[in-house]
Amino acid sequence: MSEFPRRPWFYHLGNWFMRLVFRIILRVDIRGLENIPRTGPVIYGISHSSFVDPLIAGAYSPRDVVPMAKIEAFGIPVIGMVIRLYGAFAVRRGEVDMTAVKTALRVLHSGYGLIIAPEGHRSESGALQQGREGAIILSLRSGAPILPIAVWGGKPLWKNLGRFRKTDLHFYVGKPVIPAIMPKATREQVTQMSDELMLLIAEMMPPELHGYYAGWSKPAQRLLHPFGATPVVLTQAKEVASVK
């Protein structure tokens, strides 16, 4: 598998500029940056309710990251050009986009951080939606740990800008986890791990934003373990994470 290109010069300039703008329009509450591994592949699994969420993840990450972006954004004048210059890559939502999966694996095999929204798309209400399988499958295929990241508070940004008010935005990074079952898992196990990831994100957010996961209890047997724990290798489970 070929190496993913180095971060373009615009990536570093863009992050500097975003941090400057964010200091003006936001009050950013950041916690847990020390949980981000400084080397090796890692998946940033962020909650997603505002366009600013992945921008915050990129701007304040202490290491280089590569974001996924919906393919529709690449067709928007100016914005599409900026996304390309920043070094993001496109994903088709609502379908199994094998090109995006293979690109994501190239990113991870090259040792970068990958920004992905486990919910699959932005939450209109701001509350958590059901997690999808993408982050777990990428972790299974690459061996990369996943960072549960809770981001909330950005939805009233435009309204507050019109009133010349700053917006309070929270960016909390949990401790990295990794599937306990490597390298294969049944579909039911992948679904459980997707829900476990979302529950870890929910734990860092106010109860009123738990959404789909409101009232959920922790599973009796966890399939996501702290990064560094020894995985359980199963050889007879049906593999659902294969990418041809």
pLDDT per position as a tens digit, 184-224 = 889 999 999 999 999 999 999 999 999 999 999 888 889 99
pLDDT greater at residue 159 or residue 231: 159
CA angle 209, 148, 198 (to 5 degrees): 50
The structure tokens listed for 168 are 């309070």
Are 100 and 91 spatial neighbours (Cβ–Cβ below 8 Å)?
yes
Q: How many CA atoms lie within 13 A of 22 on its CB side?
A: 23
Q: What average pLDDT score do residues 103-111 get?
A: 96
pLDDT tens-digit map of 16-55: 999 999 999 999 999 999 999 999 999 999 999 999 999 9
Q: Quick check: 231 pLDDT over 70? A: no
The conformation of residue 93, written as its DSSP 8-state character, comes to T
Using one digit for the tens of pLDDT, what is the confidence trace for 138-180?
999 999 999 999 999 999 999 999 999 999 999 999 999 999 8
Answer positive or negative: Cα dihedral of 147, 184, 5, 101. Answer: negative
Domains of the chain and any CATH numbers: 9-233 (3.40.1130.10)
Q: pLDDT at position 230, please?
A: 57
Residue 66 in tokens: 């590569």
CA-nearest of 63, 186, 214 to 129 is 214
Do residues 53 and 205 touch, judged by C-beta distance below 8 A? no
Q: What is the mean predicted confidence (pLDDT) over 222-230? A: 84
